[in-house]
Chains A and B, each alone.
Chain A
Amino acid sequence: MSTTLGDAVRPGRSARPRRSTTELAQQAPRWQKLFATELAARIAAVLAFAVFWVVLSAVFARVPGPIAVVANLIDEFARGEVFGNFGVTLYRFGIGVVLALVAGTAVGVLMGLSQLSRAFLESPVLVGLSMPAIIWSFLTVMWFGFGDLSPIVTTFLTAVPFVVLNVFQGVRGISRDLRDMSASYGVPFTRQVRELVLPAVTGFVATGARYAVLMGWNGVLLAEWFGGSGGVGYRARYWYDANQFAGFAAWVVLFIAFIVALDRLVFDPLVTRAFRWRDAR
């Protein structure tokens, strides 16, 4: 840590002739420039992660190495366990998240528009935000038994407060001035909704949906882990209970890949698009 930020702005300390940073950059050899690109950094990160994983599995006997995990993953595909379990989980997860989005958006809009409903709903939302997902999964498994209902309800209950919070912030963020102005210039209501309220809120609904997916995924996994009625969480637990950590890790890789793909391919573009009125330069 001997370099401070100041070194960059204080050339001329050394005896060498002073050069601008562009000159210095141009002077660097070709291979060095190649290694400093962003792509090289990303490739290096992947390699570093692989090395880290191998070292970790060598140090801790219980941690499975990458090869064992890939082998288990292929086995699991060959057994035909992957698609059925994923389908079951996606069905529960999808219903829960969609319900949470609908209910959360309605409640969030209500809270944003009326002071009294905000005061009324504030504490339930706060408690919902701080409730651990595992308690919901314990309770719903007891209430609804080992079926589809308990994962669905757990997903819904863990996701809904986050949707409410985001939509509420969006509605509250609608510029009061713009609302007043459009009212005094007699802008028709439908146009107000289309050009003022909707653009302001969609971005927050998209962000809320993203949170709902992240939180709901955790909820559905927990409920399946304790519920034992098929699905990704159940299958992961099956391997965990059998002390086959490579099998467990194979499922972890699968569902992390799924959630990352969902986040990157669906929600990143969606949120960027919905917020383009705000972030565009």
Chain B
Amino acid sequence: MTLLSTSQRSGDPEREALQAARHRRWKRLAVLALGWLAMLAVWEYASWWFGSRLMPRPYAVLMAAYQIVADGSFFTDFTASVLKTFAGFAVAIVIGAPIGYLMGRHAFWRAFFQDGITVAGTIPAIVYAVMSLIIFGLSNLGPTLAVALVSIPYIALNVAEGIRGVDRSLIEMSEAFGRSPRQIRQEVLIPTLVPYVFVAIRMCFAVAWKVEALTEVFGGRSGVGFQIRTEYQLFDISAVLAWTLLFIAFMLVIERLVLAKSEAHLLAWRPQERNAL
């Protein structure tokens, strides 16, 4: 019967489909919001169960987070943490990219590094954090080293993958047309590798960001983790949770917006890659 009525209304199947799609989208959004509400409800329940001293209520945490943003410590400490993270990435690229290059080119080096890299991937974050502290003591170098150690396996593996994926006929062609090795490196190899390095960074950003904070908790002098530890020692749990909240929000924003956008931008020249990722 419905079929009849739609055809009688002389056919806007397109509009109806659009309407149905919009309806579905609204429903999805509503359920999504419900998910957040449910999380808040669980939180409220937990703070009632454990008492608001051990588990502050969402409202108190939000106010504390607002305080942190308003008095400017959000900006200084997050900048400190971000700088350390990216310094760690830089170190990881400097060390990991040549390892990946060797692994991609020679079977010998692949066998040489393979075991170490798989083991490095299974080591728990706490080991990296404490090891970096033992080496560098209380300084900004500790978190940087921890981030580098965590990221090197990802970067090496991705660069090795990228080297193996380089189009050999492109290189042959550039040689046939008499390009110098330097030109080939700059125009063929590096553009092929950049996206792989970038994917590696995006893949390990979440892990690295957590390890960075963890190292600061154990012994940092600035940054998010340092603030979390200080507030924990003062037993100000709502401030601990406020910093955590900002930490998670920041991570999701960087991951979803900044990295995803710039990756799409970097990979725009090879649509098949973009679709595959």
Contact = CB atoms under 8 A, between A and B. Distances in A.
Contact of B107 (A3, A38, A120, A142): A38
A158 to B, nearest CB: 10
A206 interface: no
Interface stretch (A39-47, A176-184, A271-279): A39-47
Interface of B: 27-28, 31-32, 34-36, 38-39, 50, 54-55, 101, 105, 107-113, 115-116, 119, 122-127, 130-131, 134-135, 137, 166, 168, 171-172, 174-175, 181, 184-185, 189, 206, 210, 213-214, 217, 228, 232, 237, 240-241, 244, 247-248, 251-252
Contact of B214 (A45, A127, A134): A134
Query: Which 7 A/B pairs are nearest by Cβ-Cβ distance?
Result: A41-B111, A218-B124, A119-B31, A38-B111, A41-B112, A123-B35, A120-B35
B122 A6 contact: no
Given A41-B109, A259-B124, A121 B244 contact: no
Interface string A29-55: 000000010100110110011000000
A214 interface: yes
Contacts of B124: 214, 217-218, 221, 255, 259
A260 B171 CA distance: 40
A218 B126 contact: yes
A167 interface: no
A138 interface: yes
A260 to B, nearest CB: 5
A89 to B, nearest CB: 12
Contacts of A121: 35
A126 B112 CA distance: 37
A147 to B, nearest CB: 15
A133 B70 CA distance: 27
Contacts of A131: 244, 248
Interface residues of A, number: 58
A60 interface: yes
Nearest to A117: B31
A67 to B, nearest CB: 17
Interface in A1-36: 1-6, 9-10, 36
B119 A256 contact: yes
B112 A10 contact: no
A48 B112 CA distance: 10
B55 A143 contact: yes
Given A132-B247, A143-B55, A9 B168 contact: yes
Contact of B36 (A38, A123, A259): A123
Contacts of A187: none
Contacts of B127: 252, 256
B171 to A, nearest CB: 5
Nearest to A2: B181
A179 to B, nearest CB: 21
A135 B38 CA distance: 20
Contacts of B109: 41
Interface in A95-139: 115-116, 119-124, 126-127, 129-135, 138-139
A135 B240 contact: yes
A132 B175 contact: no
A156 interface: no
Interface string A243-278: 001001000100110011001000000000000000
Nearest to B123: A256
A190 B202 CA distance: 41
A120 B35 CA distance: 5
Residue from B185, B189, B210, B228 having most chain A Cβ neighbours under 10 A: B210
A225 interface: yes
B244 A116 contact: no
A130 B248 contact: yes
Contact of A5 (B126, B171, B214): B171
A62 interface: yes
Interface in A136-154: 138-139, 142-143
Contacts of A124: 35, 38-39
A171 interface: no
B134 A245 contact: yes
